[in-house]
Amino acid sequence: MSTPGERIEFTHPTTDAKHTLIVQEYEQHKMSREHFDRQNQEFPTYCTVMSYTLSPDLPDGAFTVIDYVRSDQPRQKRTNPNEPQAFSGICVGIIGGTDGPTAIIFGGSEQSKLHVVCSALHFEPVDDVEWRMVFHEKSREDVTVDIF
């Protein structure tokens, strides 16, 4: 488990620049079931939230941290605890977008950005999350195409 103040040093795989990820907060959360309004299904509600800063920081969209493990799948609610559990094919989305965790900016330009990432959702609290660093490299410039 990560603890606030923990420092993880790494080298960027393309630029060979040295960076330090500094954990600011690390805590388990339980989401309210009211966010998942389905009468016949039960959704996982436990996740771990980590906030961190990078020194030196990387441009937005160039670096993300993700949970290595997938979320638990939603399951049918059981009225009888002895009946077998059936699983459905619905996926659960997590806070954030397709291009990484949310970045929250505090203070002026001299201060680092605070990045926030959520783990996968589970039915029970997870003691140890295996985080993965992901580097995003843009190999070509953007192209604008007019469609008639």
Q: What is the pLDDT of residues 29-68, one digit of tens each?
A: 998 877 776 678 889 999 999 999 999 999 989 999 999 9
- pLDDT for the residue numbered 9: 97
- pLDDT for the residue numbered 66: 95
Question: What's the burial of 144, exposed, middle or buried (CB within 10 Å: 0-12/13-18/19+)?
Answer: exposed
- Tokens, residue 131: 């985080």
The chain-wide mean pLDDT, for the chain, equals: 81
- pLDDT for the residue numbered 58: 94
Q: What are phi and psi of 52, to 5 degrees?
A: -150, 160
- Tokens, residue 111: 């201060």
Question: What's the burial of 6, exposed, middle or buried (CB within 10 Å: 0-12/13-18/19+)?
Answer: middle
Cα distance between the two ends of the chain: 54
Q: Taking Cα atoms as reference points, which of 2, 124, 120 lies closest to residue 67?
A: 120
Q: What is the pLDDT of residues 117-133, one digit of tens each?
A: 999 999 999 988 999 99
Q: Is the pTM of this model over 0.85?
A: no
Greatest Cα pair distance in the chain? 60
Cβ neighbors of 4 (< 8 A, separation 6 or more) are 23, 24, 25, 26
Q: In this structure, what is the dihedral angle of CA atoms 99, 16, 2, 103, given to the nearest 10 degrees?
A: -30
- pLDDT for the residue numbered 37: 67
Cβ neighbors of 49 (< 8 A, separation 6 or more) are 25, 26, 27, 28, 29, 116, 117, 118, 119
Domain ranges for the chain, please list them.
7-135
- pLDDT for the residue numbered 2: 79
Q: What is the pLDDT of residues 7-20, one digit of tens each?
A: 999 999 999 999 99
